[in-house]
Amino acid sequence: MKVGAMLNMLELETFAAVVEHRSFAQAAVALNISSAAVTRRVKRLEQSMGALLLIREPPVLPTKAGEEVFRHFMTIRLQEDELLRRVMPGRATTTALALAVNADSLATWFEPVTRELVQHQVALEIVVDDQDHTLKALARGDVKGFLSTQPEPVVDRFVAAPVGQMRYQCVATPRFAREHFAGGLTLPGALKATAILFDRKDALHDVFFRSHFGVTVGRYPRHYFPSPVALLNAILDDLGYGLVPAMQAESLIGSGRLIALASGHDLLIDLYWHHWEQEPEPLATISALVMAAARRSLVQPAQREEETR
C-alpha cells in the first residue's frame, strides 16, 4: 500500500496543530476538540505510519520522523492554497509563511524584498532569532526559508544556496577615533577601547580581530545593543566603535559623521539561503525572489575579484 493511502487528513491536521502549538492541550483549544481526541488522532497516525512522531515531554516536539510528516503536511497545505488561487481566482486565499533573516540583512537590503513578497498573497512572519534555534525550526517546517552564515544544508532534502557576502566596516566617530586611535587602529588600542556588539552571540568582532590582527582575543570592553539601529546609534553617540554593514556606514562616512578605522580591510561574511530542495508554490517563487534580491545587494565573487585587482 502506498504511504499516501495510509494518511488520514484529519489526523495529519491534528498532528500538525500539536507541532505548531508545542502542546496537546493548546492544539485541542485551537481545533475546538478535547485533548483526548487529539491524543487518539495522533496515536492513530503514529500507528498508521509505524513510527513515533512526537516526543511527549513539554514542550512537545516532533521526532525526526515527525519532522518529515510535518513538512509533508505543510506541502499539502501550500499546494491547496495555490490550487484555490488558480481555480477560484476571486477567492482571497492567503498563505502564512515564516522566513528567518539575520538582523543586519533585515535592517538593510531585505526590507524592500518584503514588499515584493506580500504581492504573492502571503501573510509574512519575519523571524529574527539565533541561528541554532532557527535551523531547528527550518528542519521542522515552521520556517520555510532561512538566511544564514551556515554553509551546509541542515537536513536531507534541503539546499543552502550561496547568495553573496555581507560587507562590514569597522567605524567610529572622528571624536572617538581621535581619543582612542590617534595613531590608527592598533591591537593595543582596540583592546582598551570599548567595542559595540549586537549581543553575546555576536562573533563579528572576534572574526575581525582574527582577520585584521591575526590573533584571537577573548576579553575586551564592550557594550551590547541587540538592534542594528541601536548599535549604529551607540557608535554615533561616541559610546564605542564597531562593525556596521557597509550599506549603513558608507553614507555616514561620506558625510564625515563616521570614519573607517580599517579602510581597505572590510570584513566579508558569506550568506546562504536555506530552503527545501523540492519547493511547492509559492515557496519556489519566494525563494527565487529572495535569492535574486540578495545577489543584487550583496558582494558577489566576480565583483570582489574586480575590486581586488
State the average pLDDT over residues 235-255: 97
Which has more confidence, 67 or 189? Answer: 189
Q: Considering the domain boundaries, does residue 260 fall inside one?
A: yes
Strand-pair partners of 196: 223, 242
CATH at 26: 1.10.10.10
Residue 41's Cβ-count burial label (10 Å; 0-12, 13-18, 19+) is buried
Q: Considering the domain boundaries, does residue 117 fall inside one?
A: yes
Calpha distance 101→107 (Å, rounded): 10
- 125 and 256 assigned to the same domain: no
Residue 304: per-residue pLDDT: 56
Tracing cell 529572495 back to the chain, one arrives at 290
In three-state secondary structure terms, 178 is helix
Calpha distance 31→29 (Å, rounded): 5
Q: Considering the domain boundaries, does residue 11 fall inside one?
A: yes
Maximum mean pLDDT: which of 97-111, 156-170, 236-250: 236-250
- 152 and 93 assigned to the same domain: yes
- 102 and 244 assigned to the same domain: no
- 53 and 143 assigned to the same domain: no
Burial 222-249 (b: 16+ CB within 10 A, else e): eeebeebeebbebbbeebbbbbbbbbbb
pLDDT in tens, 92-138: 567 788 899 999 999 999 988 888 888 777 888 888 866 656 766 67
Q: Is the pLDDT of residue 36 over 60?
A: yes
Q: Considering the domain boundaries, does residue 171 fall inside one?
A: yes
The number of distinct structural domains making up the chain is 3
Residue 148: per-residue pLDDT: 87
pLDDT in tens, 194-219: 999 999 888 999 999 999 999 988 78
Q: Considering the domain boundaries, does residue 309 fall inside one?
A: no
- 143 and 277 assigned to the same domain: yes
- 51 and 180 assigned to the same domain: no
Domain enclosing residue 211, as ranges: 166-268
State the average pLDDT over residues 184-202: 94
- 63 and 110 assigned to the same domain: no
- 137 and 158 assigned to the same domain: yes
Among 110-119, 228-237, 247-256, 300-309, the range scoring the smallest mean pLDDT is 300-309
Q: Is the pLDDT of residue 240 over 70?
A: yes
What secondary structure letter does DSSP report for 5? H
Main-chain phi, psi angles of 264, to 5 degrees: 85, 0
Which has more confidence, 291 or 134? Answer: 291
Q: SS3 for 189-225, per residue?
A: HHHHCCEEECCCCCCHHHHHHHHHHCCCCCCCCEEEC
- 262 and 180 assigned to the same domain: yes
- 258 and 275 assigned to the same domain: no
Amino acid identity at 34: S
- 124 and 40 assigned to the same domain: no
- In sequence order, the 6+-apart residues with CB closer than 8 A to the CB of 221 are 192, 193, 194, 195, 240
Residue 306: per-residue pLDDT: 53
Residue 131: per-residue pLDDT: 60
**Closest C-alpha among 196, 172, 198 to residue 104:** 198
Q: Considering the domain boundaries, does residue 197 fall inside one?
A: yes
Q: What is the DSSP string of 249-273?
A: HHHHHHHTS-EETTTT--EEEEEEE
Q: What is the pTM of this model?
A: 0.79
State the average pLDDT over residues 257-266: 95
- Residue pair 53/65 in contact (Cβ under 8 Å)? The answer is yes
Q: Considering the domain boundaries, does residue 104 fall inside one?
A: yes
- 114 and 145 assigned to the same domain: yes
Residue 3: per-residue pLDDT: 43
Q: Considering the domain boundaries, does residue 147 fall inside one?
A: yes
CATH at 285: 3.40.190.10
